[in-house]
Amino acid sequence: MSAETHALLSIDQHLALTQTLYREARLLDEERFADWLDLLADDVHYRMPLTARRFRADRSAALAGGAGYVFDDDKGRLGLRVQRLESGLVWAEDPRNRVRRIVSNVEIYRAQTDGEATVHSVIEVHRSRMDAQQRRLTAARTDLWRLEGGGWRLVRRLIGFDHPVVIDSNLNVFF
């Protein structure tokens, strides 16, 4: 992620990017995965690191091999996940679950490279599953978006997941 500046985009670029974030959320809610993949740059890098609860003063050695990533996906791997979801054979999503994404606390800054923007946001994913089952997952996102062909494309996303224990029996969802 490029170093953070606090320079703002032009008002219409800012507006277009905000709209793109909301549109992205709706595309996912509506399971329009092909359209979602179109919003991603070809060199997209989509990550969610694993974390642990540690004491603030902890000075223990780094883990061998790093902590690992729940998602560490390029476009090919995201495509693989989409293929699975669209196979018609993922029984956990059939009947479909109602998923609602709420995107909030959006901050948009000009990135160091021209035509790129750093975006901070908070996402809340509501999943309404079997019978009365409700799951609410939250995460902070730090993105890099790039202007390509007149529209904004997602280049990088780092997802800070808020749950030390995943409180749902699967994560068949994108953040």
Partner 1 sequence: MTDYAGLVSAAGAMQRRQMYADPAVYEQELERIFGRCWLFLVHESQIPQPGDFFRTFMGEDDVLVVRQKDRSIKAFLNTCTHRGNRLCRADRGNAKAFACNYHGWAFGTDGALVNVPLEKDAYFSEIDKSRFGLVEVDQVASYKGLVFGCFDRNAPSLADYLGDMKWYLDVWLDAQPGGSALIGETQKVELMTNWKLPVENVCGDGYHLGWAHAGAMKAVQSMDFSGFTVGNASVELEGGLSIAGLNGHSVLATVDGVSGYSFYPDNAGILRYLEQNRPTAIERLGRLRGEKLWGSQLNLTVFPNLQFLPGLNWLRVYHPKGPGRIEQWTWAMVENAMPADIKQRILDNQLLTFGPAGLFDNDDGDNLAACTEQSRGWRTRQLDVHTNMAQGRSGARPGLPGDIAVGVVSEHNQRYFYRRWQEHMAAADWRAVPQYNLNSLQDAKDLAHVG
> x/- site string to partner 1, residues 129 to 158, per CB under 8 A?
-x----------------------------
**By CB under 8 A, how many residues form the interface with partner 1?**
43
How far apart, in whole angstroms, are the C-alpha atoms of residue 76 and residue 137?
A: 25
How far is residue 98 CA from its own chain's centroid? 18
Residues 8-47 that bind partner 1 (CB under 8 A): none
Helix (H) / strand (E) element for 161: namely strand 151-161
Is residue 157 within 8 Å of residue 46, measured between CB atoms? yes
In angstroms, give the least distance from the CB of 80 to partner 1. 5
Q: Is the peptide bond before 95 cis (omega within 30 degrees of 0)?
A: yes
- Which residues, in sequence order, are CB contacts of 141 under 8 Å at separation 6+? 119, 120, 121, 122, 123, 157, 158, 159, 160, 175
6, 62, 66, 132: which one binds partner 1 (CB under 8 A): 66
In angstroms, give the least distance from the CB of 170 to partner 1. 4
83 forms part of the interface with partner 1 (CB under 8 A): yes
85, 106, 122, 139: which one binds partner 1 (CB under 8 A): 85
128 forms part of the interface with partner 1 (CB under 8 A): no
> 108 or 154: whose CB is closer to partner 1?
154
- Which residues, in sequence order, are CB contacts of 2 under 8 Å at separation 6+? 111, 112, 113, 116, 118, 144
- The residues of the shown chain that bind partner 1, judged by CB under 8 A, are 48, 50-55, 58-61, 63-72, 77, 80-81, 83-85, 87-92, 130, 164-172
